[in-house]
Chains A and B, each alone.
Chain A
Amino acid sequence: MNSRWPMLFLGTAMLALFVFGLFSGPAHLAWSEEWSALLGTGGATAETIMWQLRLPRLVTAVLSGAALGLSGLLMQTFFRNPLAGPGVLGVSSGATLGVALVALGGASMGGVTGIWDMGPQVMGALMGGGAVMALLGLVMGRFRSRTALLIFGLMVGYLAGALVTVLQAGAEAGALQAFVHWGMGSFAHSGWASCAIMVCALTPAVFWSWRASSSLDMWTMGALTAATMGVDERRLSWTALGMAGVLAALVTAWCGPVAFLGLATPHLVRAAGISGRHAAMLWPVVLTGAAVALLADLVVRLAGVPLNAVLSLVGAPVVLMLIVGKGRIFSKVRNR
């Protein structure tokens, strides 16, 4: 499918959701107030609402959705597994453990209070997510089947979850409450600084995915064939895993372990009839991830339900349908 219509549609949808999100909210500002606040000529309160609350939240949603979608796409391509994603493979869990170590362990020891504090938390998430990604990279040659990879990720998730529970049990009440709240997922607690860092991570990841798209395609034909088609196996592996891991970990640091976006976004794109080579999937996946994140955030704001509840309520049935519905996700694919 080479038509430009899907991209145009996705772009428009994203823009519409963004604008709608920007001009709606509980503050009941008038249109003119909102507009002048955006231009910097409005009242101080309105300006704070627009520039410090709504805009960073929307930009965070766009960047996080795009990052998770790309992370999921990279993992599905790299592991040749349609069910791979940052959640399923335990990367989000690893990042969560890293955050828990900083936010719960750190809070009880050194009095680091704010769960939304940037520096240490980001380091924790990157190290936790990165550790799981590195582990996957090291053992992936040993997986005899696709399901083995998924079960491996699931078990890593359980393990990280158990350690998080241990940390929670020993945590001080305030830190625990903040951590649980963080775990529900939200785009509301990140600021311009984290958006800037996200851009710094997302831009090279998109650029690399574009440049390396042929290598990633060759990779899906098997490591041996890819290597004889000119793919540098080690470089491709570590770059793909590294980028997918960093993107997922960064989102986790600021927005919590956001459910399903990474796994489901590439499938939403495929369901829309766009599939095939990596380059054809890249932009639709990035845009769809952003649009879905905006839509989910809108539901969060209108219905007052936590982000992960919204995403799971939609994401889980989508994946179930993929597995059971047409039976397409596994039946076509033999375990080799």
Chain B
Amino acid sequence: MKGKMMCSGLTLRHPSEGVGTLSFALSAGTALVVVGRNGSGKSTLLKTLAGLLPARAGSVSMDGVEIAAMRPQARARKLAFVPSTPPRGTVLTVQDVIELALEAGGHQADATSVEQSMLQGGVHPWAQLPIDTLSDGMAQRVMLARAAAQSESLILLDEPTAFLDVVGRREVMADIGQWLNVGKAVVLATHDLDAVQESGWADRWMVMRSPSQGGAVLPDEAFSSHAAKSMLMGEE
């Protein structure tokens, strides 16, 4: 199975204090939960992993190829990204979005594959609706289905549940669990510690802290919202 991400000696461009040097690997079917306070550099980390921001030092690679050196189209076949807010002001329908995602991922975008991707993402009932007419929760699920249709290997999510209600959060976490089952790798930045805990799939995690607080750490023990909270509050 492809989809192995390697970070070695990575230093981010933001925040100014930095979080120290990051080195970790992520293989197919595993998830990394990134927690940290506002402004701790979670979004910067995800954008750097996605190849949108250059790193200050170090490198990120997918299956041995450096992300920063890839052309946008090649990168889109390796990884997909879900921001915290679903798009607004577009005329695209759910079906259009899935078609585009398959195209971006370099897959067949015929009617059958589009149908299948919509079924897998649970967005099939809204196929013909413009995403602008959907609620935030529904639109965000479409964005998750988009990411899943686009990338077979790695999906990065930047606080995807930030604007969702309890049910919406649970649905997003369940979608992620399904991806892990089919072998996708996931990096999830979130404040939603309880929803992650509840989902049951969370294993590896990373706490983003400034160097004065000890820098970023990847704890050895399995994720628990309790441990994550106490680390965030600085009670180790």
Contact = CB atoms under 8 A, between A and B. Distances in A.
- Where chain A touches its partner, the secondary structure class is loop
A228 B87 contact: no
Contacts of A231: 72
Interface residues of B, number: 32
Interface in A180-236: 214, 217-218, 220-222, 224-225, 227-232
A80 interface: yes
A214 B100 contact: yes
A334 interface: yes
Interface in A301-336: 332-334, 336
A214 B41 CA distance: 32
A276 interface: yes
B187 interface: no
Interface in B95-151: 96-97, 100-101, 103-104, 132-133, 143, 150
B83 A217 contact: no
B50 A217 contact: no
Contact of B100 (A217, A224, A232, A336): A217
A160 to B, nearest CB: 28
A276 B85 contact: no
Contacts of A222: 83, 87
Interface residues of A, number: 24
B157 to A, nearest CB: 11
B72 A277 contact: no
A228 B150 CA distance: 10
Contacts of B100: 214, 217-218, 229
B52 to A, nearest CB: 6
A276 B91 contact: yes
Nearest to B83: A224
A275 interface: yes
Nearest to B87: A221
B23 interface: no
Nearest to A270: B91
Contact of A230 (B52, B72, B85, B97): B72
Nearest to A218: B100
Contact of A228 (B50, B74, B93, B132): B50
B35 to A, nearest CB: 21
B89 interface: yes
Contacts of B85: 336
Interface in A224-256: 224-225, 227-232
Which 6 pairs show the lowest CB-CB distances between chains A and B? A230-B76, A228-B81, A220-B90, A229-B104, A230-B73, A221-B87
